[in-house]
A and B are shown apart, each in its own frame.
Chain A
């Protein structure tokens, strides 16, 4: 039981840290991309469509790191492999 408690504690803390720290970088990156795109649109309104297209694609690329963090946090919280392993060990 002691081990399980530690695994639960560690998983929740790690999931929170993973999501929190993992959101900072992409958020800054997306903010920078957006600000550059907006100033580019302000300078060249005719090119709005192209700029927005590249902005979306680039943001999707930047965002994928945050998505990895999210998936990792979800795995830690809801499908924790270590947790399941020890539960099975305790039962069997």
Chain B
């Protein structure tokens, strides 16, 4: 049994390997980009809109509301980052019920990449909002003694973000595979249902946690002054 989709290698050229994770990431990317491209070709502002455009509008509007609720900031500038993360994780988690599809979020390399993006997005937004000096000041709050603990906290929550998503999706697919071997009738279906629920909740949690971290990086200055 493969513990990670990274291990299924199709092609390899020197240090570059084309593995399951990459292939299915491209599949998800193709689906998302293709769908968005199709919808935005004939987008209208009239009251009669197509179903597809309606789906996209509901999605974007819901994301804006959620991000605003999590950060208490104007949500538009976070939408490109957090919305993309959410939609990608959501689609790849939901597609995990398709037989043969190995969700790219079940690979530690993908989730680590996501959490590294969040790790660097926090200082990016923080410095853009408050300036470098004020942002760095937040690390020595409430006293300079807390500096190492703040840094450890920053790193460990990034690690937790990656391992949480990876572990949840991996456990879902793995339980499904094991149950399919020992009890092929009905029970795997229930696990798949649970996997769907967990997949959606994990996508939501990843996005909300990223939003909360970014908001925490922003609010540093306002609480000092």
Which A residues fall within an 8 A CB radius of B? 49-50, 53, 56-57, 60-61, 63-64, 67-68, 70-71, 74-75, 78-79
B3 located at the interface, meaning its Cβ lies under 8 Å from any Cβ of chain A in the complex: yes
B220 located at the interface, meaning its Cβ lies under 8 Å from any Cβ of chain A in the complex: no
Chain A residues positioned under 8 Å from B166 (CB to CB): 71
Contact B164 A64 (CB under 8 A): yes
Q: For residue B175, give the distance in angstroms from its CB to the closest CB of chain A.
A: 10
Chain A residues positioned under 8 Å from B87 (CB to CB): none
Closest to B205 in A: A60
Contacts A53-B69, A53-B70, A56-B201 hold; do A71 and B163 have CB atoms under 8 A apart?
Answer: yes
Q: For residue B82, give the distance in angstroms from its CB to the closest CB of chain A.
A: 14
Q: Can you list 16 A-B contacts with CB-CB less than 8 angstroms, sorted by A residue number?
A: A56-B205, A57-B205, A57-B208, A57-B209, A57-B212, A60-B202, A60-B209, A64-B160, A64-B163, A67-B163, A67-B164, A67-B167, A67-B171, A71-B163, A74-B170, A78-B3
Query: Per DSSP, are chain B's interface residues mostly helix, strand or loop, or mixed?
Result: helix
* Assembled-state Cα–Cα distance A74/B172 (Å): 13
Contact A67 B168 (CB under 8 A): yes
Closest to B211 in A: A57
Contacts A70-B171, A74-B170, A78-B3 hold; do A56 and B163 have CB atoms under 8 A apart?
Answer: no
Would you list which residues of chain B between 181 and 225 have a CB under 8 Å from chain A? 201-202, 204-205, 208-209, 212
B1 located at the interface, meaning its Cβ lies under 8 Å from any Cβ of chain A in the complex: yes
B174 located at the interface, meaning its Cβ lies under 8 Å from any Cβ of chain A in the complex: yes
Checking A57, A70, A79 against B167 with a beta-carbon cut-off of 8 angstroms, the contacting residue is A70
Chain A residues positioned under 8 Å from B209 (CB to CB): 57, 60
Chain B residues positioned under 8 Å from A60 (CB to CB): 164, 202, 205, 209
Would you list which residues of chain B between 47 and 95 have a CB under 8 Å from chain A? 69-70
Q: For residue A59, give the distance in angstroms from its CB to the closest CB of chain B.
A: 8
* Assembled-state Cα–Cα distance A63/B212 (Å): 18
Chain B residues positioned under 8 Å from A57 (CB to CB): 205, 208-209, 212
